[in-house]
Amino acid sequence: MANKVLPRNKMNKRYTWNAESVYSSNKAWEKEVKQIITDLPTIKKFQGKLKDSPAVLLRAMKAYEALISRAQTAAMYAVILYSVDTTNQQSAGMRSKAMGMYGQVASAVSFVQPEILAIGKSKINKWIRENKNLKMYGHSFEDLFRRQAHVRSAEVEEILGMVSEPLSGASTSTSVLTNADFKFGRIKSGGKVLDITQGNFDSQLMHLADRKARKAAYEAYTDQYVAHKNTLAANLSTSINSNVFYMRARKHESTLSASLFDLNIPTEVFHNLINTFKKNLPVWHRYFELRRKALGLKKVAYYDMWAPIVKKNVKVTYEKAIDLISESLAPMGSEYVATLRKGALKDRWVDVYPNQGKSHGAFSYGTQGTHPFIMMSYTDEVTSMSTLAHELGHSMHSYLTWKNQPFVYSDYSLFVAEVASNFHQAMMRGHLLSSNIDKHFKLALIEEAVGGNFFRYFFQMPTLARFELETHQRAERGEPLTADSMIDLMADLFAEGFGPSFDMDRERVGMTWATFGHLFADYYVYAYATGISGAHAAAGRILRKEPNAVEDYLGFLKSGSSDYSLNVLKKAGINLTTPKAVEETFAVMEGYIDQMEELLK
């Protein structure tokens, strides 16, 4: 890839997401959004009538699903369109319109759950026995009655639906500010002038061998956040207080229990992770000390975490990455691999390369009836190959769920999502480290594993989870959340995590929370760490060729939300109710560190 980041309209269409497979044009999207709002009465006409008969309830559920499905697709289209070019004002307007539309839909369907609850569990179960077409909703209704104590009256639920849009404004404001308005400038490295963008900061600039350039890029990037720390803190504080509002409106004891309750996950799962993470911090200290020695530094700084230890530049093109990922997933079967290859190379699931205005990070997003699209910024590095494998794990999870489940179970929780994505990476490393004899490639792969994937999901995310828990608890106690208090908390947590080999820049490192939009998704970050643990438990079974391991894992991918998250994982041989999987993953990480030490000799 060239160093100069191209504008969106100059990108090769072959490497852009297949937007036209969803809507033929933006005008077609506009027409659909307008029609969705026009069609709101198709569900509202059932209000007050769900108790009439099983047939009426079934028709209402079908109308509910049809409306929600259309709204999800329209919202997804607008979100991705905006994400690939945040400077496009039309896309920004479409995203805003989509959020408004979805708020109206949420308000229109808000009566459904309270009315089902009013019918009563025994009567609903009787109707399910009498009407075979209602049977598919059995688990959904069971889960609704489980959550009954926290579902409010139809009037209150309607209000909660109506406030969803304004209460999500803090996230939108932060995204616009950091992705569209922030200007990071340029740096010089190796005689070249490099733009600093959200798309290339993590994936390219932090991987430069030139330490002065890395430091300059890190400081220029982070200083934009520091300069706007009060606005960013106010936005996150608003989001946290919104979570406290929902907690109290739905009568939960805490924001943590409120968030985990929806997935029927005990809070012990969260605390098990945090306690096991803290217990194993010496493993991380060992890695940071190894990195310090390998780089020849007195102390490592935050911008050294991605500095290349490998002296030889290892390049992997997008097409080559697809080949290697496919080889690694051969144990999953020919159909699995063929689907992945067709999606990535022919059907344009992936928006591949960086462009001006492209949002930073990577994600997989779609709805039943569309492709499971991926937005990323591929840079021909081993790191990008790993990110691609990760997002393809999400996409295959979505693909198989949509193919095998009815709409009511066509989603899956954030808790299980990171298992599927990290599973791909675990399988890829397991295959390539055992088959590739090139020392530099092996070292690059291990460096990406520990310094990239594990550092992000098994170090940064648990640390952010600790930050999130503490800030929510402060808000629950009525304590103010200021920029300086957040910076101090974040800096203290990272100081403990990095240990004695770290050169602490308190304000910049303490500002790290502002660079993670994940914190606007209530108690999501911890699921990265439980996810990587579950992934290695599943991959370990397959790599060891345990009986039925592949079939069990494919069954998990096909299950969607047809059962509770912990139950779905247990069927695949993954138990996250104990610390065992987390401990096993730390053991895997220690094995990588052992290999790195040997290769560096």
Q: How many CA atoms lie within 13 A of 402 on its CB side?
A: 15
3-class SS shares of the chain: helix, strand, coil, % to 5: 70, 5, 25
Give a yes or no: residue 587 inside a domain. Answer: no
**pTM assigned to the model:** 0.83
C-alpha of 511 from chain center? 21
Cα separation, 541 vs 304, whole angstroms: 34
Structure tokens at 264: 């029927």
What pLDDT shows up at residue 160? 78
Q: pLDDT tens digits, residue range 251-287?
A: 889 999 999 998 899 999 999 999 999 999 999 999 9
Contact 582, 533 (CB under 8 A): yes
Model confidence at 76: pLDDT above 80: yes
User: Is residue 73 situated within a structural domain?
Assistant: yes
Within 10 Å of residue 548's Cβ, how many Cβ atoms?
Answer: 11
Whole-number Å distance between alpha carbons of 132 and 427:
41
* Sheet with 363-365, edge to edge strand ranges: 350-351, 373-375, 363-365
Task: Output the pLDDT for position 3.
Answer: 54
pLDDT of residue 2: 42
Confirm whether 391 is a catalytic residue: yes
Closest CA to 521 of 443, 573, 465: 465
Which pLDDT belongs to residue 345?
98
Number of domains forming the structure of the chain: 1
Q: Which residues, in sequence order, are bridge partners of residue 374?
A: 350, 364
Is residue 314, in this structure, part of any structural domain at all? no
Is residue 313 included in any domain, yes or no? no
What's the whole-number mean pLDDT along residues 579-600? 93
Pairing mode, strands 350-351 and 373-375: parallel
Residue 108 · residue 376 · CB < 8 Å = no
> Does residue 90 lie in a domain region?
yes
Structure tokens at 151: 């579902």
Write out the residue range of the structural domain in which residue 47 sits.
8-167
Q: Write the pLDDT tens digit of every residue in 212-251.
A: 999 999 999 999 999 999 999 999 999 999 999 988 988 8
Cross-strand partners of 363: 375
What letters, b where the CB count within 10 A reaches 16 and e where it falls short, cover 318-332? beebbebbbebbebb
The overall average pLDDT reported for the chain is: 93
pLDDT at 1: 42
157-173 average pLDDT score: 79
User: What six digits make up the tokens of 205?
Assistant: 């600039």
Is residue 592 over pLDDT 60?
A: yes
Q: How does pLDDT run across 400-414, given as a tens digit for each residue?
A: 999 999 999 999 988
Residue 285 maps to a domain: no
Q: Note whether 128 and 141 are within 8 A (CB).
A: yes
Question: Which of 326-330, 350-354, 442-446 has the least mean pLDDT?
Answer: 442-446
Predicted confidence (pLDDT) per residue in 370-396, tens digit: 999 999 999 898 889 999 999 999 999
CB 586 within 8 A of CB 284: no
142: left (phi over 0), alpha (psi -120 to 50) or beta: alpha
Q: What is the pLDDT of residue 597?
A: 93
Catalytic residue among 115, 158, 165, 391: 391
d(CA 167, CA 462): 26
Asked whether residue 216 is assigned to any structural domain, the reply reads no
CA atoms of 18 and 65, how far apart (whole Å): 25
CATH number at residue 107: 1.20.140.70
Q: Report CA torsion sign: 507, 510, 516, 519.
A: negative
* CA neighbor of 309 nearest in space, from 317, 318, 319, 300: 300
Structure tokens at 208: 């430069």
Question: Would you say residue 365 lies in a domain?
Answer: no
